Chains A and B, each alone.
Chain A
Amino acid sequence: MTNPPFEQVVARHGATVLRVCRAVVGPDDADDAWSETFLAALRAYPSLDPGTNLEAWLVTVAHRKAIDVLRARSRRPQPAAHLPEAHDGAAGPGEQVAEVWYAVAALPDKQRLAIAYHYLAGLPFADVAAIVGGSTDAARRAAADGMKTLRRQYGAQPAGDRQ
Protein backbone atom coordinates (compact mmCIF):
# COMPACT_ATOMS: atom_id res chain seq x y z
CA MET A 1 0.00 0.00 0.00
CA THR A 2 1.31 3.42 -0.94
CA ASN A 3 0.18 6.96 -0.31
CA PRO A 4 -2.03 8.49 -3.01
CA PRO A 5 -0.68 10.93 -5.64
CA PHE A 6 0.09 14.20 -3.89
CA GLU A 7 -2.42 15.93 -6.15
CA GLN A 8 -5.17 14.12 -4.22
CA VAL A 9 -3.77 15.42 -0.93
CA VAL A 10 -3.94 19.01 -2.19
CA ALA A 11 -7.41 18.51 -3.68
CA ARG A 12 -8.84 16.95 -0.52
CA HIS A 13 -7.14 19.03 2.15
CA GLY A 14 -6.13 22.31 0.47
CA ALA A 15 -9.28 24.14 1.55
CA THR A 16 -9.03 23.03 5.17
CA VAL A 17 -5.37 23.98 5.38
CA LEU A 18 -6.18 27.41 3.94
CA ARG A 19 -8.81 28.01 6.63
CA VAL A 20 -6.41 26.85 9.31
CA CYS A 21 -3.70 29.17 7.97
CA ARG A 22 -6.11 32.12 7.89
CA ALA A 23 -7.09 31.48 11.48
CA VAL A 24 -3.54 30.99 12.77
CA VAL A 25 -1.52 33.66 10.93
CA GLY A 26 -4.36 35.89 9.73
CA PRO A 27 -5.64 36.36 6.19
CA ASP A 28 -2.76 38.55 4.98
CA ASP A 29 -0.06 35.92 5.57
CA ALA A 30 -2.26 32.86 4.98
CA ASP A 31 -1.19 32.38 1.35
CA ASP A 32 2.49 32.20 2.31
CA ALA A 33 1.77 29.82 5.19
CA TRP A 34 -0.31 27.58 2.88
CA SER A 35 2.46 27.48 0.26
CA GLU A 36 5.17 26.73 2.84
CA THR A 37 3.00 24.01 4.36
CA PHE A 38 2.38 22.13 1.12
CA LEU A 39 5.96 22.54 -0.10
CA ALA A 40 7.25 21.08 3.19
CA ALA A 41 4.64 18.32 3.03
CA LEU A 42 5.63 17.49 -0.56
CA ARG A 43 9.28 17.27 0.49
CA ALA A 44 8.46 14.81 3.29
CA TYR A 45 5.75 12.90 1.42
CA PRO A 46 7.80 10.00 -0.05
CA SER A 47 8.88 8.85 3.42
CA LEU A 48 5.48 9.27 5.07
CA ASP A 49 4.03 6.04 6.50
CA PRO A 50 1.14 4.76 4.38
CA GLY A 51 -2.07 4.97 6.36
CA THR A 52 -1.05 8.21 8.11
CA ASN A 53 -4.01 10.48 8.89
CA LEU A 54 -3.14 13.02 6.19
CA GLU A 55 -5.27 15.86 7.48
CA ALA A 56 -3.83 15.62 11.01
CA TRP A 57 -0.32 15.40 9.55
CA LEU A 58 -0.90 18.48 7.37
CA VAL A 59 -2.23 20.40 10.37
CA THR A 60 0.95 19.71 12.34
CA VAL A 61 3.06 20.80 9.35
CA ALA A 62 0.87 23.91 8.98
CA HIS A 63 1.28 24.64 12.70
CA ARG A 64 5.08 24.60 12.43
CA LYS A 65 5.03 26.78 9.32
CA ALA A 66 2.54 29.17 10.91
CA ILE A 67 4.78 29.57 13.96
CA ASP A 68 7.66 30.43 11.57
CA VAL A 69 5.49 33.04 9.86
CA LEU A 70 4.40 34.55 13.19
CA ARG A 71 8.02 34.71 14.41
CA ALA A 72 9.14 36.38 11.19
CA ARG A 73 6.29 38.88 11.51
CA SER A 74 7.15 39.74 15.12
CA ARG A 75 10.62 40.73 13.89
CA ARG A 76 9.35 43.21 11.32
CA PRO A 77 7.60 46.56 11.96
CA GLN A 78 3.85 46.26 12.48
CA PRO A 79 1.26 48.52 10.87
CA ALA A 80 -0.59 50.48 13.55
CA ALA A 81 -3.99 49.05 12.69
CA HIS A 82 -5.68 46.87 10.13
CA LEU A 83 -7.92 48.94 7.93
CA PRO A 84 -10.50 47.02 5.93
CA GLU A 85 -9.40 48.88 2.79
CA ALA A 86 -5.93 47.40 3.16
CA HIS A 87 -7.24 43.84 3.07
CA ASP A 88 -6.64 43.14 -0.62
CA GLY A 89 -3.28 41.51 0.08
CA ALA A 90 -2.08 39.32 -2.77
CA ALA A 91 -5.55 38.08 -3.64
CA GLY A 92 -6.24 37.78 -7.34
CA PRO A 93 -9.35 38.94 -9.19
CA GLY A 94 -12.59 37.40 -7.99
CA GLU A 95 -11.12 36.60 -4.60
CA GLN A 96 -12.48 38.09 -1.42
CA VAL A 97 -11.35 37.37 2.09
CA ALA A 98 -14.27 37.37 4.51
CA GLU A 99 -14.14 39.80 7.43
CA VAL A 100 -14.53 37.00 9.96
CA TRP A 101 -10.87 36.00 9.45
CA TYR A 102 -9.77 39.38 10.76
CA ALA A 103 -11.91 38.83 13.86
CA VAL A 104 -10.30 35.42 14.33
CA ALA A 105 -6.86 37.00 13.93
CA ALA A 106 -7.67 39.41 16.77
CA LEU A 107 -8.38 36.59 19.29
CA PRO A 108 -5.75 35.59 21.89
CA ASP A 109 -3.27 32.96 20.60
CA LYS A 110 -4.66 29.98 22.53
CA GLN A 111 -8.22 30.66 21.41
CA ARG A 112 -7.20 31.19 17.81
CA LEU A 113 -5.18 27.98 17.63
CA ALA A 114 -7.86 25.93 19.41
CA ILE A 115 -10.50 27.16 16.96
CA ALA A 116 -8.25 26.50 13.99
CA TYR A 117 -7.34 22.96 14.90
CA HIS A 118 -10.66 21.86 16.40
CA TYR A 119 -13.39 23.67 14.50
CA LEU A 120 -11.62 24.17 11.16
CA ALA A 121 -9.36 21.11 10.97
CA GLY A 122 -11.70 18.80 12.88
CA LEU A 123 -9.09 17.47 15.34
CA PRO A 124 -10.30 16.20 18.72
CA PHE A 125 -9.34 18.43 21.68
CA ALA A 126 -6.76 15.89 22.91
CA ASP A 127 -4.89 16.29 19.60
CA VAL A 128 -5.30 20.07 19.73
CA ALA A 129 -3.72 20.06 23.21
CA ALA A 130 -0.84 17.93 21.94
CA ILE A 131 -0.08 20.52 19.25
CA VAL A 132 -0.54 23.77 21.19
CA GLY A 133 0.43 22.53 24.69
CA GLY A 134 -1.67 22.53 27.88
CA SER A 135 -4.49 20.21 28.87
CA THR A 136 -7.39 18.90 26.82
CA ASP A 137 -9.81 20.84 29.03
CA ALA A 138 -7.84 24.04 28.55
CA ALA A 139 -7.99 23.56 24.77
CA ARG A 140 -11.75 22.97 24.97
CA ARG A 141 -12.25 26.09 27.12
CA ALA A 142 -10.09 28.24 24.84
CA ALA A 143 -12.06 27.14 21.76
CA ALA A 144 -15.39 27.80 23.51
CA ASP A 145 -14.30 31.25 24.70
CA GLY A 146 -13.09 32.18 21.23
CA MET A 147 -16.28 30.99 19.55
CA LYS A 148 -18.31 32.98 22.09
CA THR A 149 -16.47 36.15 21.08
CA LEU A 150 -16.92 35.46 17.36
CA ARG A 151 -20.63 34.68 17.74
CA ARG A 152 -21.10 37.87 19.75
CA GLN A 153 -19.47 39.85 16.93
CA TYR A 154 -21.13 38.07 14.06
CA GLY A 155 -24.35 36.73 15.56
CA ALA A 156 -26.40 34.67 13.13
CA GLN A 157 -25.37 36.76 10.17
CA PRO A 158 -23.91 34.68 7.30
CA ALA A 159 -20.16 34.98 6.99
CA GLY A 160 -18.81 37.09 4.19
CA ASP A 161 -21.67 39.59 4.28
CA ARG A 162 -19.95 41.97 6.64
CA GLN A 163 -17.54 44.26 4.89
Chain B
Amino acid sequence: MSTLFPTEDTATLERLHARLADDAAREGLLDVAYRQVDSPVGPLLLAATPRGLVRVAYSFKGHDQVVEDLAARLGPRVLHAPARLDAAARELDEYFAGARTRFELDVDLTLSRGFRRAVLEYLRTIGYGETESYTEVAGHVGNPRAVRAVGSACATNPLPIVIPCHRVLRSDGSPGGYLGGLPAKKLLLDLERAA
Protein backbone atom coordinates (compact mmCIF):
# COMPACT_ATOMS: atom_id res chain seq x y z
CA MET B 1 0.00 0.00 0.00
CA SER B 2 2.81 2.37 0.85
CA THR B 3 3.96 2.34 -2.76
CA LEU B 4 0.51 3.36 -4.02
CA PHE B 5 -0.46 6.01 -1.46
CA PRO B 6 2.33 8.41 -0.52
CA THR B 7 2.74 9.24 3.17
CA GLU B 8 5.07 12.23 3.11
CA ASP B 9 2.75 15.06 4.11
CA THR B 10 4.75 16.78 6.85
CA ALA B 11 4.53 20.29 5.41
CA THR B 12 0.80 19.99 4.71
CA LEU B 13 0.10 18.64 8.19
CA GLU B 14 2.07 21.46 9.82
CA ARG B 15 0.05 24.03 7.90
CA LEU B 16 -3.24 22.31 8.76
CA HIS B 17 -2.24 22.04 12.43
CA ALA B 18 -1.52 25.78 12.61
CA ARG B 19 -4.88 26.50 10.98
CA LEU B 20 -6.63 24.22 13.48
CA ALA B 21 -4.96 25.97 16.42
CA ASP B 22 -6.06 29.38 15.07
CA ASP B 23 -9.64 28.25 14.38
CA ALA B 24 -9.94 26.51 17.76
CA ALA B 25 -8.65 29.53 19.68
CA ARG B 26 -10.95 31.88 17.78
CA GLU B 27 -13.97 29.70 18.56
CA GLY B 28 -13.00 29.40 22.23
CA LEU B 29 -12.48 25.65 22.00
CA LEU B 30 -9.08 25.40 23.70
CA ASP B 31 -8.71 24.51 27.36
CA VAL B 32 -4.93 24.92 27.10
CA ALA B 33 -2.54 26.26 24.44
CA TYR B 34 1.16 25.52 24.82
CA ARG B 35 4.58 25.96 23.26
CA GLN B 36 8.23 25.46 24.16
CA VAL B 37 10.91 28.16 24.29
CA ASP B 38 14.66 27.99 24.77
CA SER B 39 16.16 30.02 27.61
CA PRO B 40 19.41 30.38 29.56
CA VAL B 41 17.87 28.07 32.19
CA GLY B 42 17.04 25.40 29.63
CA PRO B 43 13.93 24.63 27.56
CA LEU B 44 10.73 25.95 29.13
CA LEU B 45 7.19 24.88 28.46
CA LEU B 46 4.67 27.74 28.45
CA ALA B 47 0.94 27.06 28.71
CA ALA B 48 -2.08 29.35 28.76
CA THR B 49 -5.81 29.08 29.31
CA PRO B 50 -8.18 31.68 27.84
CA ARG B 51 -7.69 33.57 31.15
CA GLY B 52 -3.92 33.83 30.93
CA LEU B 53 -0.58 32.14 31.44
CA VAL B 54 -1.19 29.08 33.60
CA ARG B 55 2.09 27.17 33.58
CA VAL B 56 5.82 27.69 33.09
CA ALA B 57 7.67 24.38 33.41
CA TYR B 58 11.32 23.44 33.55
CA SER B 59 12.17 20.32 31.62
CA PHE B 60 13.16 17.98 34.49
CA LYS B 61 9.79 16.31 34.60
CA GLY B 62 9.52 15.94 30.81
CA HIS B 63 7.30 18.37 28.98
CA ASP B 64 5.04 15.59 27.65
CA GLN B 65 4.19 14.68 31.23
CA VAL B 66 3.49 18.33 32.05
CA VAL B 67 1.10 18.57 29.09
CA GLU B 68 -0.69 15.39 30.20
CA ASP B 69 -1.04 16.76 33.73
CA LEU B 70 -2.51 19.99 32.35
CA ALA B 71 -5.02 18.03 30.27
CA ALA B 72 -6.06 15.99 33.30
CA ARG B 73 -6.50 19.07 35.50
CA LEU B 74 -7.75 21.74 33.09
CA GLY B 75 -9.45 19.79 30.29
CA PRO B 76 -8.33 17.62 27.36
CA ARG B 77 -8.73 20.24 24.61
CA VAL B 78 -5.00 20.95 24.57
CA LEU B 79 -3.11 22.02 21.45
CA HIS B 80 0.40 23.10 20.57
CA ALA B 81 -0.50 26.68 19.61
CA PRO B 82 2.67 28.80 19.67
CA ALA B 83 1.01 32.02 18.51
CA ARG B 84 -1.16 32.08 21.65
CA LEU B 85 2.03 32.38 23.70
CA ASP B 86 3.95 34.90 21.61
CA ALA B 87 3.61 37.65 24.21
CA ALA B 88 4.82 35.42 27.06
CA ALA B 89 7.75 34.17 24.97
CA ARG B 90 8.70 37.73 24.04
CA GLU B 91 8.56 39.00 27.63
CA LEU B 92 10.71 36.09 28.83
CA ASP B 93 13.26 36.84 26.09
CA GLU B 94 13.37 40.45 27.24
CA TYR B 95 13.71 39.40 30.86
CA PHE B 96 16.67 37.11 30.13
CA ALA B 97 18.24 39.89 28.05
CA GLY B 98 18.06 42.16 31.13
CA ALA B 99 15.65 44.45 29.32
CA ARG B 100 12.53 43.67 31.37
CA THR B 101 12.09 43.98 35.13
CA ARG B 102 8.42 43.08 35.41
CA PHE B 103 6.04 40.85 33.49
CA GLU B 104 2.90 42.36 32.07
CA LEU B 105 1.04 39.15 31.37
CA ASP B 106 -2.38 37.94 32.43
CA VAL B 107 -1.85 34.96 34.70
CA ASP B 108 -4.25 32.18 35.66
CA LEU B 109 -3.54 30.80 39.15
CA THR B 110 -6.13 28.00 38.83
CA LEU B 111 -3.48 25.36 39.49
CA SER B 112 -2.80 26.67 42.98
CA ARG B 113 -5.25 26.89 45.88
CA GLY B 114 -5.58 28.08 49.45
CA PHE B 115 -2.47 29.07 51.34
CA ARG B 116 -0.15 28.25 48.45
CA ARG B 117 -2.10 30.57 46.23
CA ALA B 118 -1.94 33.34 48.82
CA VAL B 119 1.85 32.89 48.91
CA LEU B 120 2.05 33.14 45.10
CA GLU B 121 -0.06 36.31 45.12
CA TYR B 122 2.34 37.78 47.66
CA LEU B 123 5.45 36.72 45.72
CA ARG B 124 4.25 38.81 42.78
CA THR B 125 4.85 41.91 44.91
CA ILE B 126 8.55 41.16 45.52
CA GLY B 127 10.31 43.39 43.02
CA TYR B 128 13.06 42.66 40.54
CA GLY B 129 16.45 42.34 42.23
CA GLU B 130 14.90 42.19 45.74
CA THR B 131 14.86 39.12 47.95
CA GLU B 132 13.03 38.01 51.09
CA SER B 133 13.50 35.06 53.43
CA TYR B 134 10.99 32.22 53.72
CA THR B 135 10.32 33.47 57.26
CA GLU B 136 9.61 37.02 56.09
CA VAL B 137 7.21 35.75 53.42
CA ALA B 138 5.41 33.62 56.00
CA GLY B 139 4.97 36.73 58.17
CA HIS B 140 3.74 38.81 55.24
CA VAL B 141 1.01 36.32 54.34
CA GLY B 142 -0.16 36.37 57.95
CA ASN B 143 1.19 33.09 59.26
CA PRO B 144 4.72 33.53 60.65
CA ARG B 145 4.96 29.88 61.71
CA ALA B 146 4.19 28.54 58.23
CA VAL B 147 7.78 28.72 57.00
CA ARG B 148 7.73 25.17 55.63
CA ALA B 149 4.39 25.77 53.91
CA VAL B 150 5.94 28.79 52.19
CA GLY B 151 8.76 26.50 51.05
CA SER B 152 6.32 24.02 49.58
CA ALA B 153 4.31 26.81 47.92
CA CYS B 154 7.54 27.90 46.22
CA ALA B 155 8.42 24.29 45.33
CA THR B 156 5.03 23.82 43.62
CA ASN B 157 4.85 27.25 41.97
CA PRO B 158 3.11 26.59 38.60
CA LEU B 159 4.58 29.79 37.12
CA PRO B 160 8.27 30.00 38.10
CA ILE B 161 10.26 33.00 36.79
CA VAL B 162 7.02 34.92 36.09
CA ILE B 163 5.99 34.52 39.74
CA PRO B 164 9.41 35.08 41.31
CA CYS B 165 9.83 32.29 43.85
CA HIS B 166 13.56 32.52 43.05
CA ARG B 167 13.58 35.76 45.10
CA VAL B 168 12.92 33.84 48.32
CA LEU B 169 16.06 32.79 50.22
CA ARG B 170 16.96 31.29 53.58
CA SER B 171 17.30 33.70 56.50
CA ASP B 172 21.11 33.31 56.41
CA GLY B 173 21.12 34.45 52.79
CA SER B 174 21.87 31.01 51.31
CA PRO B 175 19.69 30.18 48.33
CA GLY B 176 17.61 27.33 49.79
CA GLY B 177 15.96 25.07 47.24
CA TYR B 178 14.56 25.77 43.80
CA LEU B 179 12.15 23.81 41.64
CA GLY B 180 14.29 24.57 38.58
CA GLY B 181 17.52 23.43 40.27
CA LEU B 182 19.98 25.59 42.20
CA PRO B 183 22.06 26.63 39.15
CA ALA B 184 18.92 28.13 37.64
CA LYS B 185 18.09 30.01 40.84
CA LYS B 186 21.64 31.37 40.99
CA LEU B 187 21.47 32.42 37.34
CA LEU B 188 18.21 34.32 37.89
CA LEU B 189 19.51 36.05 41.05
CA ASP B 190 22.78 37.01 39.31
CA LEU B 191 20.87 38.29 36.29
CA GLU B 192 18.72 40.57 38.47
CA ARG B 193 21.67 41.70 40.58
CA ALA B 194 23.64 42.70 37.47
CA ALA B 195 20.89 44.86 36.01
Contact = CB atoms under 8 A, between A and B. Distances in A.
Contact of A46 (B3, B12, B32, B77): B77
Given A15-B13, A39-B29, A46-B77, A156 B3 contact: yes
Contacts of A151: 4
A10 interface: yes
Contacts of A15: 7, 9, 13
A31 interface: yes
B13 A14 contact: yes
B4 A150 contact: yes
Contacts of B68: 4-5
B11 A6 contact: no
Contact of A100 (B4, B11, B29, B75): B4
A39 B16 contact: no
Interface residues of A, number: 36
Interface in B1-52: 1, 3-9, 11-13, 15-17, 19-20, 23-24, 27, 29, 32, 34
A35 B20 contact: yes
A4 B72 CA distance: 8
A15 B76 CA distance: 21
B162 interface: no
B80 interface: yes
B78 A7 contact: yes
Interface in A13-61: 14-15, 18-19, 31, 34-35, 38-39, 42-43, 45-46
Given A5-B76, A7-B78, A35-B16, 14 more contacts: A3-B76, A5-B71, A14-B16, A14-B17, A15-B9, A15-B13, A35-B23, A39-B24, A39-B29, A43-B29, A98-B5, A156-B3, A158-B3, A160-B8
Rank and list the top 7 A-B pairs by shortest CB-CB distance, nearest first.
A5-B78, A5-B71, A159-B6, A160-B6, A98-B6, A94-B11, A95-B11
